[in-house]
Amino acid sequence: MTIPFYVAPEQLVRDKAEFARKGIARGRSILALEYADGVVLIAENPSSALHKISEVYDRIAFAGVGKYNEFETLRKAGIRQADLMGYLYSRDDVTAMSLATQFAQTMGVIFTRDPKPFEVELLLAEISSDGAEHRLFRVTYDGTLFEERNFVAIGGKSEQLEEALEDLWSADMDLDSALEAGKQAFQQAEGRDSEGWEIAVLDSTNGRRAFRRISTETSPAAGKEPAQPESESPE
Amino acid sequence: MIPANGPLPLDAPSPGSSFTDLLDSMGALPRWNIPPGENAPSAPEGTTVLALRYQGGVVMAGDRRATEGHLVAHRRIRKVFPADRYSAVAIAGTAGLAIDMVRLFQVELEHYEKIEGVRLSLEGKASFLARLVRNQLPMAIQGLVVVPMFAGYSEADQTGRLFSFDVVGGRYEEIDFGSTGSGSRLAKSYLRTVYRDDLSADEAADLAVRALVSASQEDTATGGPDLRRGIYPNVLRIDEDGLVELPDDVVGPLAEGAVETIR
């Protein structure tokens, strides 16, 4: 029988954190910024099939950087949780705040318990029904939860992106200028042209399901899905 | 079984994209266990709903009455619901069970769409609804019957399609029109004489309302338009642009026209 070497907890946590940070730094970044009608999420993503941004609930969007299988697992768990809460109680009882704490708890447990931490960073965006109030949350690999204002970036270049946005972002931008600001921030942070965009919005003018993907080849208005019918609920 | 405020469970029941299976794995779906021979309680029943195809889409409509025995239980109940952006579901039978089934069906479709990133095909949605009906079979044997109809625009075929069901979950595609509920025979008899293959959307909505008015003349469980209270049938139209519910100021005149001309 072998006796495992003793490793000091400080050492263990430091090693895991360094491992996770390295993994995350390899991936491309994502940012979310507020604009007049909601929140726009922009990811650099050469693939048009593998999404990094997705809808979680009526007014909540999710984005993840790092290992695809890991944030995909978290994304699906989040959707299951949101749909369960909304079905068992009411659609109004599903909030980004509650989901964000649950993502944080999940990642915190995995970070301390599992030999290999998740190499992912998550972003949750939520708009209120009138679009006037937005919430942006960031969850890091060790389960730390941050609430951000106006804009937030995750991934390897997140600090550079947020620095660039300090100058580029302003309140009450329309969608086109918000998109322009976001793309320019990427340009400044990466110092090169994008290899492809994945863009989605939470738009309060979109009906019950505020999430909408924006086709990058055409104008923002193109490819618009029909709005979800209002009289959705049988009640 | 109700989600607690802890770490999220990362494993899903297979195949992983069904909300109903998720509920089932948690024991949150009703499990019927009624001893044989027990009499089911009496509960409000929804009556006549119908759907018909037109050029490029499908119209679905339902009257607003629910009955309990010989009594009117509700005057303005809704029996036709959007299922998602391109489909609708209508219900007849025990209203309480049927409305709950619709709610589960709506969440199921949206859940699948979010998890998989694509919508189910129209046929896939119909198959799933058939499964929900079949799950109710023990209740149906007790007399609490739910029979839905399903209609939608098929993005793959670029046409409107509609499905009727029976009480054991049998699924039947209709090529022109269909109806279920107490007044369905009367409604179908009316539609049989006036239906054409080249109907426009407006004509289809008009025929749908007329068929309901026609059924209400002989079937007491079917509510005719209540012009004094302003209660009109629910009419949904689905085509390539998605689903729209016709507002009362469109359905109102159709209903008044139908009431005026009926013999």
Interface of A with B (CB under 8 A): 51, 54-56, 73-74, 76-81, 83-88, 98, 101-103, 105-106, 108-110, 209, 225-234
| Whole-structure pTM value | 0.92
Q: Coil, helix or strand for B48?
A: coil
Tell whether the model's pLDDT for residue A222 goes beyond 50: no
The secondary structure of A121-165 as a DSSP string is EEEEEEE-TTSS-EEEEEE-TT--EEEESSEEEESTTHHHHHHHH
Is B8–A231 a contact, with Cβ atoms under 8 angstroms apart?
no
Percent of chain A with pLDDT over 70: 91
Instruction: Specify whether B47 is catalytic.
Output: yes
What is the pLDDT at residue A192?
A: 86
A231 band by pLDDT with thresholds 50, 70 and 90: low
CB nearest to B115's CB, from A74, A79, A106: A79
Percent of chain B with pLDDT over 90: 79
ipTM for this model: 0.90
Mean pLDDT of chain B: 92
**Segment B244-257 mean pLDDT:** 96
Q: Enumerate long-range contacts of A163-172, CB under 8 Å, 24 or more apart.
A: A163/A189, A164/A188, A164/A189, A165/A31, A165/A33, A169/A33, A171/A34, A172/A35, A172/A36
Is B19–A78 a contact, with Cβ atoms under 8 angstroms apart?
no
Contact A143, A107 (CB under 8 A): yes
Helix axes B122-135, B95-116, angle to 10 degrees: 140
Q: Nearest C-alpha of chain B: how many angstroms from A67? A: 15
What is the pLDDT at residue A154?
A: 95
Query: How many Å apart are CA B32 and CA A99, to the nearest integer?
Result: 33
Contacts of B6 in chain A (CB under 8 A): 102, 105
**Segment A176-184 mean pLDDT:** 95
Is B104–A87 a contact, with Cβ atoms under 8 angstroms apart?
yes
Domains of chain B, with CATH numbers?
47-219+229-261 (3.60.20.10)
Mean pLDDT of chain A: 89
Query: How many Å apart are CA B220 and CA B202, to the nearest integer?
Result: 28
Contacts of A106 in chain B (CB under 8 A): 7-8, 10
Q: Coil, helix or strand for B174?
A: strand
Is A106–B7 a contact, with Cβ atoms under 8 angstroms apart?
yes
The secondary structure of A17-72 as a DSSP string is HHHHHHHHHHSPPEEEEEETTEEEEEEE-S-SSS-SEEEEETTEEEEEEE-HHHHH
What is the pLDDT at residue B27?
A: 84
B20, B47, B48, B180: the catalytic one is B47
Query: How many Å apart are CA A184 and CA A165, to the nearest integer?
Result: 9
Is B6–A105 a contact, with Cβ atoms under 8 angstroms apart?
yes
Is B10–A226 a contact, with Cβ atoms under 8 angstroms apart?
no
Q: Nearest C-alpha of chain A: how many angstroms from B18? A: 10
The token duo for B206 is: 């008009």
pLDDT in tens, A60-92: 999 999 999 999 999 999 999 999 999 999 999
pLDDT in tens, A47-64: 888 999 999 999 999 999
Alpha helices in B117-247 (DSSP H): 122-135, 137-141, 184-194, 201-218
B33 band by pLDDT with thresholds 50, 70 and 90: confident
- Whether the ω angle into residue B148 lies within 30 degrees of 0, i.e. cis, is no
CB nearest to A83's CB, from B82, B100, B111: B111
Contact B100, B108 (CB under 8 A): no
Tell whether the model's pLDDT for residue A235 goes beyond 50: no
pLDDT in tens, B36-64: 666 777 888 888 999 999 999 999 999 99
Domains of chain A, with CATH numbers?
9-231 (3.60.20.10)
Q: Coil, helix or strand for B82?
A: strand
CA distances from B239 to A206, B113, B205 (A): 19, 19, 13
